[in-house]
Amino acid sequence: MWKEVRAVLFDLDGTLIDSAPDLGAAADRMRTDRGMPSIPYERYRPMAGAGARGMLGVGFGLPPDSPEFAQMREEFFRNYEQCMTERTYAFEGVEELIARLQAVSMPWGVVTNKSMRFTDPLTQQMPLFATASAVVSGDTTPHAKPHPAPLLEAAARIGLPPESFVYVGDDERDIVAGKAAGMKTVAACYGYLGAAGDTLHWQADAQINSPLELLKLLERG
């Protein structure tokens, strides 16, 4: 389908890896540390893509403009740092997808809004990322997604023009950023946001319901 695509960039959480269990655990620990009852993991999961904002919203009903948000966010970050690879795993099919890209010498990389504080240790601890040609975090450039700057940085690191990339993500801001960077875009409907119907209005170039479906778009499967 897309013979012109020569490299692939992925969002991280909700696209390559499922970090929702560790994110939820970090927030829930804050509740139990305060003597509050634990909340079922299923309540946290849909908001995992929103990071601290989502987890504190579920755990405490705390909006980002709350006076105590910054302090609570830092406590959440400290908890998450201690457990970020305990329950996190690659989505089914991701390891095979990466292996197939490697087999045809197609470079791949990661562009996430997660800060380097978490992205660097996580990607260094998970063998999956050993072959990534670029890992760009939310604070690598002056702007995070939906601004195209992080995607353009990844393209520059890999050494190919933006129009030769496809960007895969599970959030609308991923598609906005990809389009702004001049890349093909794919909505990962297996991520945190669920059903394909929720993603149609993003107007991505394509949608996939499992990681390996990307190979069909690349004519590599």
Output helix, strand, coil percentages for the chain, rounded to the nearest 5: 50, 15, 40
What is the spatial distance between Cα 70 and Cα 170, in angstroms, rounded to a whole number?
26
Active-site residue, selected from the candidate residues 13, 18, 22, 171: 13
132: tokens are 């990534």
Contact status, residue 133 vs residue 107, Cβ threshold 8 Å: yes
What is the spatial distance between Cα 88 and Cα 83, in angstroms, rounded to a whole number?
9
Between the two ends of the chain, the Cα-to-Cα distance in Å is 11
13 catalytic? Reply is yes
Picking from 11, 135, 23, the residue whose alpha carbon sits closest to that of residue 86 is 23
Angle of CA points 180, 181, 185, to nearest 5°: 80
205 catalytic? Reply is no
Contact status, residue 179 vs residue 166, Cβ threshold 8 Å: no
Active-site residue, selected from the candidate residues 11, 18, 170, 174: 11
Residues forming the active site: 11, 13
